[in-house]
């Protein structure tokens, strides 16, 4: 009912502005599509979550694999890497295992790849704290980009109230973003889920990562809920949750505070749903960057429904480089509240985060069918809405509905280059 009214009111607007009838039909088709596409949320029954008491009792039918049994010291000082690897091999190789990282203890673990495939119904129960060695110069160069990586998993649950802590402060200080005389090098990601499907992550806290906090890469059907990500607002490139090459990903009830994007969604990702997201501090919720170094970037079907952004440097952002190709299509941002956000609504097709400046080019990632609906709150920038679109590849079908952003002094403006749409 509400949707129909909304569409009707838009017809009204389009009629008044004298848009030809043919155009109304295509816009309405697009509107309906934007309104209706959805990604199912937490389906409660397919993977049952287990409480500690139920699986430790013998009757649960679970095989408990405790890292302590494999010699982990859990004192935060001794190297527990080998114990984790041994426990992983045991748990992975046995059906219905629960790999337990017990609470109240701290485990120092080096960069490690935990590879699947595993036997069925593996649960990784993290109740304690896992910390990374804090010295970049001792980091195994084989693992430049990862700390804890889990790959080739199918139907695995990560859960618990535990903490994954990247001990990143020395990495941040060594970043070229912090000091221009430092070389620009990549740093590890605290938690990576790679080439997996049917993965659930719930309850965990991921913090102080060396670089990105949590990456979901080349995976299908991943559900992340009640996860907290926390890194300082000035820690460089510490994206909260980064989604690349992945489909059917749901992020729900996540609280993210970090030094880069709270969520970033990049190439070859589609059917991404974010629901009830808190973001701040950070650089906002981003699609991109895409198209760097003349590359192809494709992101489709993204929904953000219900978010609160506080004091972030951007709000809802789509960022692409000049010279790229591919497209961003079918995105709906709805029910977002902002407080003291800079650049609340931003499409930037001139994005450049390279050490050398980026030239304007004729090719660009095409951006179309983007809806902003029920976006309210306060902006720190004069330009509450900025659509900086490429001259040769304009943005099309941008829909604004019920957007109400106020500046500190009440006055805000919108900037538009090469963008077409209605609202
Ligand atoms: C962990 O890394 C340290 C160097 O920081 C190394 O001495 C140690 O052997 C590594 N532990 C394992 C189990 O690989
Ligand atoms: C940046 O790094 C250089 C070389 O390591 C050092 O001399 C300088 O003091 C650093 N600057 C800051 C602001 O930390
Ligand atoms: C983008 O994803 C496509 C499809 O997976 C892949 O072929 C292409 O190499 C990716 N581009 C970049 C820049 O990674
Ligand atoms: C990207 O393509 C443009 C136009 O063909 C070319 O001038 C530029 O050097 C290319 N950039 C890179 C990084 O390959
Ligand atoms: C850009 O792409 C070229 C060719 O694909 C590659 O050789 C070069 O390393 C890339 N540069 C960057 C900065 O990724
Ligand atoms: C608009 O979004 C806010 C959350 O940001 C929500 O509380 C409110 O109910 C929404 N309004 C409508 C009409 O959906
Ligand atoms: C690139 O194009 C945009 C839009 O026309 C323009 O505002 C900007 O100044 C150009 N940048 C450069 C480096 O030429």
What local confidence, expressed as pLDDT, does residue 20 receive? 37
Percentages helix, strand, coil for the chain (3-state, rounded to 5) are: 15, 45, 40
**Ligand 2: centre distance to CA 174 (Å):** 10
- 335, 371, 405, best to mutate for ligand 6 pocket (most atoms within 8 Å of CB): 335
| 3-state DSSP assignment of residue 123 | strand
What local confidence, expressed as pLDDT, does residue 10 receive? 37
Q: Is 356 in the pocket of ligand 2 (CB under 6 A)?
A: no
**Ligand 4: centre distance to CA 73 (Å):** 53
**Ligand 4: centre distance to CA 354 (Å):** 14
Q: How far apart are CA 342 and CA 314, in angstroms?
A: 5
**DSSP bridge partners of 300:** 270, 329
State the fold for domain 1-36+261-355+364-423: Pectate Lyase C-like (2.160.20)
Question: Which ranges in the chain are annotated with CATH 2.160.20.10?
Answer: 1-36+261-355+364-423, 55-220
Residues with a CB atom less than 6 Å from ligand 7: 350, 360, 391, 417
Q: Is the pTM of this model over 0.85?
A: yes
Ligand minimally distant from the alpha carbon of residue 135:
1
What local confidence, expressed as pLDDT, does residue 32 receive? 73
| Average pLDDT, 10 consecutive residues per value, the chain (423 residues) | 36 33 56 69 47 51 95 98 98 97 98 98 97 97 97 97 98 95 95 98 98 98 98 98 98 98 98 97 98 98 97 98 98 97 98 92 97 97 96 96 91 93 84
Question: In the chain, how many H helices and how many E strands?
Answer: 5, 30
Q: How far apart are CA 283 and CA 260, in angstroms?
A: 5
What local confidence, expressed as pLDDT, does residue 87 receive? 98
Q: How far apart are CA 390 and CA 111, in angstroms?
A: 41
What local confidence, expressed as pLDDT, does residue 61 receive? 82
Using CA of residue 65, residue 68, residue 74, residue 78, what is the dihedral sign?
A: negative
Q: Does the annotation count 283 as an active-site position? A: yes
State the fold for domain 55-220: Pectate Lyase C-like (2.160.20)
8 A C-beta contact, residue 307 and residue 277: yes
Q: How far apart are CA 116 and CA 142, in angstroms?
A: 19
């Amino acid at each position: 009912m509400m949707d129909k009214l909304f569409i009707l009111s838009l017809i009204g607007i389009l009629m008044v502005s004298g848009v030809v009838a043919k155009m109304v039909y295509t816009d309405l088709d697009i509107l309906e599509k934007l309104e209706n596409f959805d990604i199912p949320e937490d389906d409660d029954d397919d993977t049952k979550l287990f409480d500690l008491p139920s699986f430790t009792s013998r009757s649960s039918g679970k095989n408990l694999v405790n890292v302590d049994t494999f010699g982990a010291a859990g004192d935060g000082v001794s190297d527990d890497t080998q114990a984790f690897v041994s426990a992983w091999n045991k748990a992975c190789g046995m059906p219905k295992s629960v790999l337990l990282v017990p609470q109240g203890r701290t485990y120092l673990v080096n960069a490690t790849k935990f590879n699947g495939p595993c036997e069925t119904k593996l649960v990784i129960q993290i109740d304690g704290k896992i910390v990374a060695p804090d010295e970049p110069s001792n980091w195994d160069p084989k693992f430049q980009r990862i700390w804890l990586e889990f790959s080739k998993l199918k139907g695995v649950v990560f859960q618990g109230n535990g903490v994954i802590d990247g001990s990143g402060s020395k990495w941040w200080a060594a970043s070229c973003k912090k000091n221009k005389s430092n070389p620009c090098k990549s740093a590890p990601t605290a938690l990576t889920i790679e080439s997996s499907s049917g993965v659930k992550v719930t309850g965990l806290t991921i913090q102080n990562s060396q670089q990105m906090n949590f990456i979901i890469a080349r995976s299908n059907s991943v559900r992340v809920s009640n996860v907290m990500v926390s890194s300082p607002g000035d820690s460089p490139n510490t994206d909260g949750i980064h989604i690349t090459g992945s489909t059917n990903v749901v992020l729900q009830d996540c609280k993210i505070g970090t030094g880069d994007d709270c969520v970033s969604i990049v190439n070859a990702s589609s059917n991404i749903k974010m629901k009830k997201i808190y973001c701040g501090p950070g650089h906002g919720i981003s699609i991109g960057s895409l198209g760097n170094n003349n590359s192809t970037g494709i992101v489709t079907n993204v929904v953000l429904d219900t978010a609160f952004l506080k004091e972030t440097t951007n709000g809802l952002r789509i960022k692409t480089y000049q010279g790229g190709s591919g497209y961003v299509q079918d995105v709906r941002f709805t029910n977002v509240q902002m407080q003291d956000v800079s650049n609340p609504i931003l499409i930037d097709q001139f994005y450049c985060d390279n050490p050398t400046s980026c030239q304007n080019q004729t090719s660009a990632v095409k951006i179309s069918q983007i809806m902003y609906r029920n976006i309210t709150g306060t902006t720190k920038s004069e330009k509450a809405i900025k659509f900086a679109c490429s001259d040769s590849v304009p943005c099309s079908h941008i829909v604004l509905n019920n957007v109400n952003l106020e500046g500190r002094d009440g006055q805000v403006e919108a900037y538009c280059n090469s963008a077409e749409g209605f609202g």
